[in-house]
């Protein structure tokens, strides 16, 4: 099957990944290619070329200019890039388009394409994407959510979207039956206010345990005010790590702290920790309860460092084998890709059926050559002759 994958453009779809969406898009494209599909990914210029990259613009997370200016530049870059891609896709021979862009244009313009468009909701509703969904009336469009939590949040706009839970490549996360000799907690993710790192720092300090932090710092003011003053021997920022280093750091932890301050759509960091055998203490937001069970995690009150510290204390005592088992049951990328392939097959099959019905209807409605030649006399020719 020829599949076009539309990525978002803020960061490259390449390691080290800026966040969960980049990780997911890379894994999806790679897995589909491994299964024999002809995949082209439309993404920013520094993305992984082994995915069949068609670069459509530079990444739009412009950290070297002011916030307002960066927002304006990014808006026009993305608008032009996606508009251009949609025009190209209209003339292409792809069987299906999978939209992971978070942009309104691929949704609003779905009815201009000859092939089905699958859009995955990776976030709660926000104004631009919600506008695109409301404008989309095409039978070509199919909406999928990465969790039941996200599906419920989008229901008032898109109806009940099908759920295909995210997943990870379990082969890339080695199970660690024992943690590192030095006891520490871990936190990983984008270092931005909505990820709530300050609560993980406070919880670790309450417990008197070392906290190792990994991830890209994408909000300088937040990092300087909420994180930097606490850095030292016990609160350590390890930087933005490549996969191997990240897996080693997470796998050695006694527990992972997950502190979203928004309705976390899925939480790939949770799946990755479980795959390494690391129990999780997480705020009760978004999809956390869909991934974690009492065997592998502990759920804390949101925005409550004391509750988080108590949950971390419990999580440390949980079975690392149970954590890995949960990852294998609920977080395997093979299950995710199976789900998307089933949707692709269904949509392409429906499209083919509609095309065949349209052809048959057209042939039935088309007058025969004899009827066309006889014109008005055709009706007379069909009448019986009275003898």
Give per-residue pLDDT as tens, 134-180. Answer: 999 888 899 999 999 999 999 999 998 999 999 999 999 999 999 99
Confidence of residue 385 (pLDDT cuts 50, 70, 90): very low
Give per-residue pLDDT as tens, 68-89. Answer: 555 678 888 899 999 999 999 9
Averaged pLDDT, 16-23: 91
pLDDT at 73: 80
pLDDT cut 70: percent of the chain above it: 88
Domains of the chain: 2-164 (3.40.50.2000), 170-332 (3.40.50.2000)
Confidence of residue 355 (pLDDT cuts 50, 70, 90): low
Give per-residue pLDDT as tens, 217-236. Answer: 999 999 999 999 999 999 99
Written in H, E and C, the secondary structure of the chain is CEEEEECCCCCCCCCCCCCHHHHHHHHHHHHHHHCCCEEEEEEECCCCHHHCEEEEECCCCCCCCCHHHHHHHHHHHHHHHHHHHHHHHHCCCCCEEEECCCCHHHHHCHHHCCCCEEEEECCCCCHHHHHHHHHCCCCCEEEEECCHHHHHHHHHHHCCCEECCCCECHHHCCCCCCCCCCCEEEEECCECHHHCHHHHHHHHHHHCCEEEEECCECCHHHHHHHHHHHCCCCEEECCCCCHHHHHHHHHCCCEEEECCCCCCCCCHHHHHHHHHCCCEEEECCCCHHHHCCCCCEEEECCCCHHHHHHHHHHHCCCCHHHHHHHHHHHCEHHHHHHHHHHHHHHHHHHHHHHHHHHHHHHHHHCCCHHHHHHCCHHHHHCCCCCC
Averaged pLDDT, 207-221: 96
């Amino acid at each position: 099957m020829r599949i076009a994958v539309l990525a978002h453009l803020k960061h490259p779809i390449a390691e080290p990944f800026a966040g969960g969406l980049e990780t997911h898009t890379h894994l999806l494209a790679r897995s589909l290619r491994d299964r024999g599909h002809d995949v082209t990914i439309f993404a920013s210029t520094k993305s992984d070329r082994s995915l069949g990259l068609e670069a459509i613009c530079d990444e739009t997370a412009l950290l070297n200019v002011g916030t307002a200016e960066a927002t304006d530049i990014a808006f026009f870059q993305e608008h032009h890039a996606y508009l251009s891609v949609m025009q190209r896709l209209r003339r292409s021979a792809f069987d299906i388009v999978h939209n992971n862009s978070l942009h309104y244009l691929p949704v609003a313009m779905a009815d201009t394409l000859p092939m089905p468009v699958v859009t995955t909701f990776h976030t709660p509703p926000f104004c631009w994407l919600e506008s695109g969904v409301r404008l989309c009336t095409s039978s070509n469009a199919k909406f999928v959510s990465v969790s039941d939590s996200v599906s419920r949040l989008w229901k008032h706009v898109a109806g009940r979207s099908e759920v295909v839970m995210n997943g990870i490549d379990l082969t890339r996360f080695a199970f660690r039956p024992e943690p590192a000799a030095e006891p520490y907690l871990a936190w990983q993710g984008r270092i931005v206010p909505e990820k709530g790192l300050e609560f993980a720092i406070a919880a670790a300090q309450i417990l008197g345990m070392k906290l190792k932090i990994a991830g890209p710092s994408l909000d300088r003011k937040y990092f300087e005010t909420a994180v930097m003053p606490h850095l030292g021997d016990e609160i350590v920022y390890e930087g933005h790590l490549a996969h191997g280093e990240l897996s080693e750091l997470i796998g050695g932890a006694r527990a992972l702290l997950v502190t979203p301050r928004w309705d976390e759509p899925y939480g790939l960091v949770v799946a990755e920790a479980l795959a390494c055998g690391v129990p999780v203490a997480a705020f009760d937001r978004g999809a956390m309860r869909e991934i974690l069970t009492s065997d592998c995690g502990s759920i804390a009150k949101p925005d409550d460092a004391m509750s988080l510290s108590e949950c971390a204390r419990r999580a440390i005592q949980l079975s690392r084998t149970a954590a890995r088992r949960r990852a294998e049951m609920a977080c395997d990328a093979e299950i995710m890709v199976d789900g998307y392939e089933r949707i692709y097959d269904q949509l392409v099959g429906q499209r083919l059926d509609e095309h065949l019905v349209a052809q048959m209807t057209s042939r039935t409605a088309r007058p025969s050559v004899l009827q066309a030649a006889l014109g008005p006399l055709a009706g007379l020719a069909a009448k019986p002759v009275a003898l």
